[in-house]
Chain A
């Protein structure tokens, strides 16, 4: 059994690289480019084990809005670990994400893809082994 990961990223080329790497590491990948799309997947009951989330997305809503909704009161899918992988530079945004309950916050440009993917894999095997 492999893990399913929802990648919420609007930049197509980037999405391509991320998906390639994740699939290489035996992840099932579903992708979304907007908060609405991402929430639809969740609500439709797609069995997502982890979420890779960017901050700036297509449309008005940002990653923060997604996390707020996901981790909100009574959310059935609160437990799904969220890994924010973004390029924005404000510490108060990072602070807010962490306060909302995301598992980790990465600045994209500063980390090799492998590092992030390994971290997600380790987290899942430690917390939700399959």
Chain B
């Protein structure tokens, strides 16, 4: 007979299976059994291995000796609630080994019932997931780092974008300036802080004859290039102003071209400073002013020639009249004498007019010079007075003077001041009827730091409606023209120009029929020296 027992298709384990199960599971899982209070009754080999406690240390202890403190108490409350009501609980718990290190376990706790159905023990199966946890933590850390890196990179990208825009704008501006410099009609040279050329525009070659290529890397304005024509002091001063004092230099320089030809340039050299105030570059802009110099020179020579041409016939008439009048060619009749005297007088007026016109032309050209020297103003005033006293006495004018004896010497050009004194005094005398009075005053105004010169007369005055034209060229007021006196109308224009050119001021008050007072104020600091090609009054 076949003792065949078919496999019963029933899904259950037998008791012997359970023992094997425990062994199998025990190779990877920590297994422990506790009573209902949590006291450990059984631990497997894995449990002992991982927790590092011995069986003796664990059995009889509560499971909480393995508590790490990582899980909140609420979790354990939940755990007990689950298992004490007969349910299974699963969760991830961080426990503490005997040496204080930590381990993570994926824990399942199930209740064990007696055959009577009473809950009397718990069994816990725990799988080590420390690696997994570490891995997870690692991932989280990595993600966090990646996030930070991402943010940082985004910031950097943003900054790069901003910088790119700025650079583009700067490049555009630079392009504009570059074009401006390239196409300027002035020579533009840029050097480093030592004067070595780093850039030059094409005008360099036009002006100096040296090409841009052969000039780069050399010192601007050095004798090997276009410099060396001025004296040493000039270049030393220039360098001091732009490099040491870090100021701009403006002036005229004589240079020489590559072929040796000399020319005059008007130059402006400016230092460029960085944020710390140190010189980083120099920018030099120059243009050829030889032509302008030549024109000025030509104008000056023209005035010189013109004066010669005009004065020559005047001198001829003057001197022949003089000879006639002195009787050496024979005695003149009364009538003849009178007529010749008229000719002589008229001629003198012409001479005065030519002199005045020459002064005007110099004022207009701006070429008259001011040569201040320490001058005793009172002495000057008295000498002018002496010249005119004869005329004043002839006309029975009372000349009163008020001179401040304590007036110090002032730096003025005596020729110019003499002209001013002469003009104003002679006007006062001319336009005051016989028997009138002229007061002539020179004093110091300490408060305003000026010398005050005043001429007051009791003369014909200037009509109110014509007063504003009194300083105009060739203007003479109606009452002056009607009177017997002559004048060319240039005197006051010249006086005003001279006074103002010297840093002073002129003003007047006048009432027709009563008199006029002219006041001239010159600063006590004196006149400013001015180079010129001409002297006024010569």
Contacts and interface: CB of A to CB of B under 8 A. Distances in A.
The judgment on whether A and B are partners is yes
Interface of A: 11, 13-14, 16-18, 20-21, 24, 55-56, 86-94, 107-110, 112-114
A107 B355 CA distance: 11
A16 to B, nearest CB: 8
A124 B311 CA distance: 28
Given A17-B320, A109-B351, 4 more contacts: A24-B328, A56-B305, A87-B311, A90-B304
Given A24-B328, A87-B311, A113 B322 contact: yes
Interface of B: 300, 303-305, 307-308, 311-312, 314-316, 318-320, 322-323, 326, 328-329, 351, 354-355, 358, 369, 533-535, 538
B322 A110 contact: no
13 contacts: A14-B316, A14-B319, A17-B316, A18-B319, A20-B323, A87-B308, A89-B358, A89-B538, A91-B533, A91-B535, A94-B538, A109-B314, A112-B319
A108 B313 CA distance: 11
Q: Report whether over half of chain A's contact residues are helix, strand or loop; otherwise say mixed.
A: helix
A108 B315 contact: yes
Contact of B312 (A11, A113, A114): A11
A14 B304 contact: no
Contacts of A24: 323, 328
Given A24-B328, A108-B311, A89 B304 contact: yes
| Chain B CB within 10 A, most for which of A86, A93, A94, A110 | A110
Contacts of B311: 87, 107-109
Among B311, B351, B358, B534, the one with the most A-chain Cβ atoms within 10 Å of its Cβ is B311
A13 B316 CA distance: 7
B315 A14 contact: yes
B354 A91 contact: no
B533 A90 contact: yes
B323 A14 contact: no
A88 B320 CA distance: 21
5 smallest beta-carbon distances between A and B, as pairs: A87-B311, A17-B319, A109-B311, A91-B535, A108-B315
B355 A88 contact: no
A21 B322 CA distance: 10
A89 B314 CA distance: 15
B534 A87 contact: no
B534 A90 contact: yes
B364 to A, nearest CB: 15
B534 A114 contact: no
A112 B321 CA distance: 10
A113 B318 CA distance: 8
A110 to B, nearest CB: 7
Given A11-B312, A109-B354, A90 B300 contact: yes
Nearest to B361: A89
Contacts of A90: 300, 304, 533-534
Contacts of A108: 311-312, 315
B369 A11 contact: no
Most chain B CB within a 10 A radius of its CB, from A20, A90, A112:
A90
Nearest to A108: B315
B538 A91 contact: yes
